[in-house]
Amino acid sequence: MTNESLSDFPLALEGDNMPMVSFRKVTKRYGDLVVLDSLDLDVAEGEMVTIIGPSGSGKTTVLRMLMTLETINDGVIYVDGKPLTHMPQGDRLVPASNRHLRQMRSNIGMCFQHFNLFPHMTALENCMEGPVHVLGLSKKEARERSEELLEMVGMADKRNQHPSRLSGGQQQRVAIARALAMRPKVMLFDEVTSALDPEVIGEVTNVIRRLVTEHNLTMLMVTHQMGFAKDISDRVCFFYGGRIEEQGTPDELFGNPQKERTQQFLSAVKEAT
């Protein structure tokens, strides 16, 4: 991207309606493949936005960009008013340094389909690791915070178990507590129930439900569970070809989809279940 086009983007976002997350004309390519196509997406503070859409439509890429696991080719992403992918230098934006990325990354927590807990650590140690080694909390503070969160996800009694002794649903709940222990402003969930046995899916969705109702966390969630998305989202975005094809409240999007692609996707998903 040229410096000229970067000068179109503000150095920071402010004002009463400042979104917690803002994608501005974000394009991501792998070679010739355009995965995100000039994407505009705002998520308000405290909002729960769900992303649905066919495989390969760019859902995971949106979350990976926010985790700064990849660079973008065009556009700017802002988190909590500050540029994430870029940083101000004088009166313009330049690509973010590693230091800037590290600082900004602490705003964001993520849970994936595969729980990737540290296998050699107990549930409690998994939760304490980041607060101690990244945030610099004392072990006492980190333990208190972690025990509270393990209690919240219903895993207090298993805190001294290693992941191999826990079920998939239990591991996923520990993974959520571990992410929350970093006190992120934004939580990302990518198909967190897809690898789980059906009978334990509810224990994980219930934790996410609690986060929505009891905490003012900003969340972006990718899911194939349309019923769950319908239940808990403030807004649902249907992705197609790296763009938002259609978005609305769950009632609008599921009850009265306007676009043909949305209708086709929703009826195909319905048939599959």
Ligand X SMILES: Nc1ncnc2c1ncn2[C@@H]1O[C@H](COP(=O)(O)OP(=O)(O)O)[C@@H](O)[C@H]1O
Residue 60 CB, nearest approach to Mg ion (Å): 3
Judged by CB under 5 A, how many residues of this single chain contact Mg ion? Answer: 2
55 makes contact with ligand X (CB under 6 A):
yes
Count of other CB atoms within 10 angstroms of residue 199: 9
Q: Which of 60, 172, 205, 262 binds ligand X (CB under 6 A)?
A: 60
Q: Of ligand X, Mg ion, none, which one sits near residue 88, judging by CB under 5 to 8 A according to partner kind?
A: none
Write down the residue that tokens 């929350």 correspond to: 180
Burial class (CB in 10 A: 0-12, 13-18, 19+), 164: exposed
Q: Is 56 in the site for ligand X (CB under 6 A)?
A: yes
* Chain centroid offset of residue 128 CA: 21
Q: Which of 30, 138, 216, 227 binds ligand X (CB under 6 A)?
A: 30
Closest to ligand X by CB, 132 or 220: 220
Helix, strand, coil shares of the chain as percentages rounded to 5?
A: 40, 25, 35
Partner from Mg ion, ligand X, none binding residue 30, C-beta < 5-8 Å depending on class: ligand X
Smallest separation (angstroms) from ligand X to the CB of 255: 23
Q: Give 203 or 265: the residue with its C-beta nearer to ligand X.
A: 265
Q: Is 171 in the site for ligand X (CB under 6 A)?
A: no
Residue linked to tokens 């859409």: 53
Q: Which is nearer to ligand X, 41 or 93 (CB)?
A: 41
- Tell whether residue 35 is a contact of ligand X (CB under 6 A): yes
Question: Residue 190: beta bridge partners?
Answer: 222
CA distance 35 to 52: 15
Residues facing residue 28 across a β-bridge: 36
* CA dist., res. 170 & res. 117, Å (int): 11
Q: Is 57 in the site for ligand X (CB under 6 A)?
A: yes
* Residues 212-238 as b or e (16 or more Cβ within 10 Å = b): beeeebbbbbbbbbbebbbebbebbbb
Please choose, out of 58-66, 77-85, 119-127, 248-256, the segment that lies near Mg ion by the rule CB under 5 A: 58-66
Give whichever of 30 and 118 is closer to ligand X, judged by the CB atom: 30
Q: Out of ligand X, Mg ion, none, which partner does residue 61 contact, by CB within 5 to 8 A per kind?
A: ligand X
Closest CA to 208 of 267, 152, 130, 253: 152
Minimal distance, residue 67 CB to ligand X, in Å:
12
CB atoms within 10 A of CB 193: 23
Among 57, 60, 193, 233, binds Mg ion (CB under 5 A): 60
Q: Tell me which residues touch Mg ion (CB under 5 A).
A: 59-60
Q: Tell me which residues touch ligand X (CB under 6 A).
A: 30, 33, 35, 53, 55-61
